[in-house]
Amino acid sequence: MTTMLTLTMNNGLEIPQLGFGVFQIPQDETEAAVTTALQAGYRLIDTAQGYQNEEGVGAAIAAGDVGVDDLFITTKLTNGEQGYDKALAAFDESMRKLRVDVLDLFLIHWPLPMFDQYVDTWRAFEQLHRDGRIRSIGVSNFEVEHLERLAAETDIVPAVNQIELHPEFPQDELRAYHAEHGILTESWGPIGQGKGLLENEHIVAVARAKGRTPAQVVLRWHLQLGNVVIPKSVTPARIRENIEIFDFELDQDDLATIAQLNTGRRLGPDPRTFDRR
């Protein structure tokens, strides 16, 4: 069985360094996928209100052998429910669907700066944290200017910022800001969302040399950067493959080879302009 590494957040609590993402897994397939992941050794599950599969995650937790105290459950406030009161109500709904009493990590999914509600929303998160209903609070898709605004106007520094990050878009500037301010970086789209990264010749070459798969090489790269990483798959063999990354290391040459992939291009939307609610 894999020995899972953990990282320590700025509030002293630990987070598993590898988790299981469930974006785009239909509700009726989510329980089976999460059950496979738990059996493979994953302990962090990353869902969101917007994924419409929190009930499937909750069903897998309720039916599984892993106690809720040994799990780390993350969900995210959906974009349409930003604002103080709406965030509180939406949180209650997630807890009902996930069937847990205390949530490990709640994230603001997108900053939506054009609506100017994320500071108010963050105050609701702070309240839920003070009330003991969420152990850690964080954000997703926040740029430096959004983090700076929270720092200036609110009390709690986010524990985590979950952002698009992979070898083609390594987010050096934001990672440096996070490191300076005690925020953990969590990578979404970490293996390139099935859009060609794993076929890249440099990744394939490192994988061959190491006797590993391209997905394992890229996930190992995330671990060595110090990121939390949450790959998604519905295929049991791949779910197991993606967690077998704690027993090898990339050396400086491998890291230099992978660094060549940086194009600075995103796969997903730009958080400064993304406005879908």
Distance CA 225, CA 154 (A): 29
Length of the chain: 277
**What's the closest the beta carbon of residue 21 comes to ligand NAD, in angstroms?**
2
**Member of 37, 60, 73, 191 binding ligand NAD (CB under 6 A):** 191
**Is residue 98 within 8 Å of residue 53, measured between CB atoms?**
no
Q: Which stretch binds ligand NAD (CB under 6 A): 10-18, 147-155, 193-201, 244-252?
A: 193-201
Task: Assess 232 for contact with ligand NAD (CB under 6 A).
Answer: yes
Instruction: Determine which helix (DSSP H) or strand (DSSP E) holds 119, and give its type and residue range.
Output: helix 118-130
Residue listed under structure tokens 């944290």:
129
Of the two residues 59 and 112, which places its CB atom closer to ligand NAD in the complex? 112
Distance CA 111, CA 82 (A): 9
Say whether 42 is catalytic.
no
Q: Which stretch binds ligand NAD (CB under 6 A): 88-96, 149-157, 202-210, 237-245?
A: 237-245
Task: Assess 162 for contact with ligand NAD (CB under 6 A).
Answer: yes
Distance CA 226, CA 186 (A): 9
**What's the closest the beta carbon of residue 30 comes to ligand NAD, in angstroms?**
11
Task: Assess 200 for contact with ligand NAD (CB under 6 A).
Answer: no
- Residue 190, judged by CB atoms within 10 A of its CB (0-12, 13-18, 19+), counts as buried
Task: Assess 194 for contact with ligand NAD (CB under 6 A).
Answer: yes
Task: Assess 121 for contact with ligand NAD (CB under 6 A).
Answer: no
**Member of 46, 81, 104, 254 binding ligand NAD (CB under 6 A):** 46
Of the two residues 109 and 135, which places its CB atom closer to ligand NAD in the complex? 109
**Member of 190, 207, 257, 261 binding ligand NAD (CB under 6 A):** 190
Question: Please, which residues bridge with residue 187 across strands?
Answer: 163, 229
Binding flags for ligand NAD, 51-70, as an x/- string (CB under 6 A):
--------------------
Query: What are residue 38's phi and psi, to 5 degrees?
Result: -65, -40
**What's the closest the beta carbon of residue 132 comes to ligand NAD, in angstroms?**
25
DSSP 73-105: EEEEE-GGG-SHHHHHHHHHHHHHHHT-SSEEE
Of the two residues 18 and 230, which places its CB atom closer to ligand NAD in the complex? 230
Dihedral over Cα of 167, 47, 87, 132: its sign: negative
- Residue 260, judged by CB atoms within 10 A of its CB (0-12, 13-18, 19+), counts as exposed
**Given 51, 84, 118, 177, which residue is catalytic?**
51
State the catalytic residues: 51
Q: Which residues bind ligand NAD (CB under 6 A)?
A: 21-23, 46, 109, 140-141, 162, 188-194, 198, 215, 230-233, 238, 241-242
